[in-house]
Amino acid sequence: MDRKFALDNAQHLPPWPSVTFRQSGKTYYFPFRLKLTLIRHFQESLVRPEFAYVAENLLLRGGYGKTHFQADQTTLQSASQMGALATQQKEMPQSVHEEFAPRIAFSRRLAAPPRTYLFNEMILQCVLKNHLSAPANLSAFLSFLGLGGLAGAPLEILGEKALPEGHVDVLIKDAAPIGTSRQIPVEVKLGVATTRDVEQLANYVRLLGKECVGGALVARGASRAVRAVAVTKQVVILSYFFDGLADSAASGYGFTDLVAAFHLATLSDEKK
């Protein structure tokens, strides 16, 4: 992917026409675009061990309308050795259109898609993954879980790992497993954590088996009773907050603003 962008007045641009729903009368259109560069081309069956990570996600989550999944490092390395390098790029029609950067608001009254979106759980997951992509932040996160010994290990941070009973929001795992493939499931909740959330995460830890070395639940907060359940289930609850961002900011915030202001804390030292 070379870049991603949003086009102004995209309702009048190809390739997708706007859709108006008869019952509500609302019209929807898709302003977001990706600029991609073809690197390799190959034709291979998905039923191969090299594609196991993606194939499992498609099998377990495809029925829920998911059309694509993030591949892990092992899949990428395997695909990089298949087929042949692309020698030609498909020429796309060149046209100049105004672009805009979507904003994110914490107040529902300020939301006005596609220019301003209400902060939601999916955005929170993306912010968390970007936050953990910084080595210092990942190291601090592992320390919160009592896994400081993993700091410096080549780990990858993936989204939506499908399981027979649900799916993990974020999965941290060895990028290049040797002998064992250590995994850490992370559940992300927009609001306050509940006992049900803790039990769900504990079940994911169980399903991942012996190679699962810990589990974390990231939420706005949690009551003492819920924290006590987490201790018995051997999972860790972390609170998140955005330092210096006001909920009432009229212009909303850019995604990079959220990532820069994002912090994690144990519930004993969370920001008041």
Query: Which tens digit of pLDDT belongs to each residue from 206-221?
Result: 999 999 999 999 999 9
Cβ atoms 254, 119 nearer than 8 A: no
Binned at pLDDT 50, 70 and 90, residue 167 comes out as confident
pLDDT in tens, 118-162: 999 999 999 999 999 999 999 999 999 999 999 889 999 998 888
Contact between 7 and 13 under an 8 Å Cβ cutoff? The reply is yes
pLDDT top residue among 51 and 263:
263
User: ∠39-131-108 over CA atoms, to 5°?
Assistant: 105
pLDDT of residue 269: 52
Cα 44 to chain centroid, rounded: 27
* Dist CA 242 CA 80 (whole Å): 38
Distance CA 205, CA 212 (A): 6
102-272: CATH topology: Trna Endonuclease; Chain: A, domain 1 (3.40.1350)
Question: Which band of pLDDT confidence, cut at 50, 70 and 90, is reported for residue 67?
Answer: low
Tell me the mean pLDDT in the region 64-77.
Answer: 76
pLDDT at 48: 87
**SS3 per-residue string spanning the chain:** CCEEEEECCHHHCCCCCCEECCCCCCEECCCEEEECCCCEECCCCCCCHHHHHHHHHHHHHHHHCCCCCCCCHHHHHHHCCCCEECCCCCCCCCCCCCEECCEEECCHHHCECCCEEECCHHHHHHHHHHHHCCHHHHHHHHHHCCCHHHCCCCEEEEEEEEECCEEEEEEEEECCCECECCEEEEEECCCEECHHHHHHHHHHHHHHHHHECCCEEEECEECHHHHHHHHHHCCEEEEEEECCCCCCCCCCECHHHHHHHEEEEECCCCCC
Q: Which amino acid is at 4?
A: K
Closest CA to 210 of 180, 230, 231: 180
pLDDT in tens, 171-203: 999 998 889 999 999 999 999 999 999 999 999
Domain ranges, ordered by start, for the chain: 102-272
Measured CA distances, 73 to 43, 44, 51, 80 (Å): 20, 18, 11, 10
Q: What is the mean pLDDT of residues 5-34?
A: 89
Predicted confidence at residue 272, as pLDDT, reads: 41
Tens digits of residue pLDDT in 21-65: 988 888 888 999 988 899 999 998 878 888 888 888 877 876 555
